[in-house]
Amino acid sequence: MEEEYSSTILFICLLWPDIEEFDRVEKYFKTLLKSLPNHHVDVPSFYHQLENIYYAKNDFDTALDYYILGYNLRCQYLSSDHYQIAVPLDNLGIVYEDKQNYDQALEYCKQALAIYEKTI
């Protein structure tokens, strides 16, 4: 069952930036997300894609909400220096930069960089 969702996620992730039907893709991701148990391995991936959709729609506040959800969920299952912890931190920095909150952006990017330097 997990492979089915993973291949679905992969397909949609590759497709949605090209079709630019953000509202439709958002609805699809939310429907799939509701069908998964909270502890399912793909839940952080769904949050990440929703983050990207809201970011693409310039809805930075909602994107931040999903970045934080995804980050918190990853922190529950991964070590604090895992590279997948750095990804949402980096994304938080990017969104805060777009919101012109440069101090907050710099803080998140520094945290992400510290993890990347340990793991790459």
Could you report the per-residue pLDDT of 93-116, keeping only the tens digit for each? 999 999 999 999 999 999 999 999
Between CA 5 and CA 42 the distance in angstroms is 7
Q: Coil, strand, or helix at residue 101?
A: coil
Residue 20 burial by Cβ neighbours in a 10 Å radius (0-12, 13-18, 19+): exposed
Q: To the nearest whole number, what is the mean pLDDT of the chain?
A: 85
Q: What is the pTM assigned to this prediction? A: 0.78
User: At 1, is the pLDDT very low, low, confident or very high (cuts 50, 70, 90)?
Assistant: very low
pLDDT by residue (tens digit) across 60-85?
A: 999 999 999 989 989 988 898 898 89
Q: Where are the domains of the chain?
A: 2-119
User: At 5, is the pLDDT very low, low, confident or very high (cuts 50, 70, 90)?
Assistant: very low
How many other CB atoms are there within 10 angstroms of residue 36's CB atom? 15
Question: What architecture does CATH give domain 2-119?
Answer: Alpha Horseshoe (1.25)
Between CA 81 and CA 88 the distance in angstroms is 13
pLDDT (0 to 100) of residue 109: 97
Compute CA distances 119 → 4, 23, 24, 85, whole Å.
29, 36, 36, 11
Q: Is the pLDDT of residue 27 over 90?
A: no
Angle between the 83-98 and 102-119 helix axes, to the nearest 10 degrees?
160
